[in-house]
Amino acid sequence: MQRLFSTFPNSWPGAGLLLQRVVTAALLFCCEFGHLREPSQHALILAHLIGTAAAILLLLGLWTPLSGMLIAVIEVWVAYSTAHAEIPIMLATFGVTLAMIGPGAWSIDARVFGRKHLEISDR
């Protein structure tokens, strides 16, 4: 993960990335649960379940590049399969941007894969 992102932005940029992750995940939850309640094609049910799992990963900031690209692929699939493609295209765009920018400092990715500070003590 550290090879993908040189830094995990903190302060205002980190807050912006956290806000983008939360808004994207909230929109995905609303859209995916709305589609799961209505009868639809069986192939799209699998796409909505995968989208919900990716939204959970995105909300936590875990494996953000993978979950962002997964969201993009799933939402393009949904946009291609339905008549109303505006929201899936917007969610696919959010997924791609989060995959490219990264999770930010307030994420599990930053805690697990971020830079470690070593303290050297004099003895």
**pLDDT tens digits, one per residue of 51-104:** 889 999 988 888 888 999 999 999 998 889 877 889 999 999 999 998 888 887
**Over residues 102-110, mean pLDDT:** 78
The answer to whether residue 69 is domain-embedded is yes
Select from 6, 5, 4, 8 the least CA-distant residue to 110. Answer: 8
14-18, 30-34, 60-64, 92-96: least confident range: 30-34
Task: Write out the residue range of the structural domain in which residue 105 sits.
Answer: 20-112
Across 61-97, b (16+ Cβ under 10 Å) vs e yields bbbbbebbbbbbbbbbbbbeeeeeeebbeebbebbbe
Say how many residues make up the chain. 123
pLDDT of residue 109: 76
Please provide the average confidence, as pLDDT, over all residues in the chain: 81
Task: Answer whether residue 13 is part of any domain.
Answer: no
In a domain, 11, yes or no: no
Number of domains in the chain: 1
User: With bands split at pLDDT 50, 70 and 90, how would you rate the model's confidence at 47?
Assistant: confident
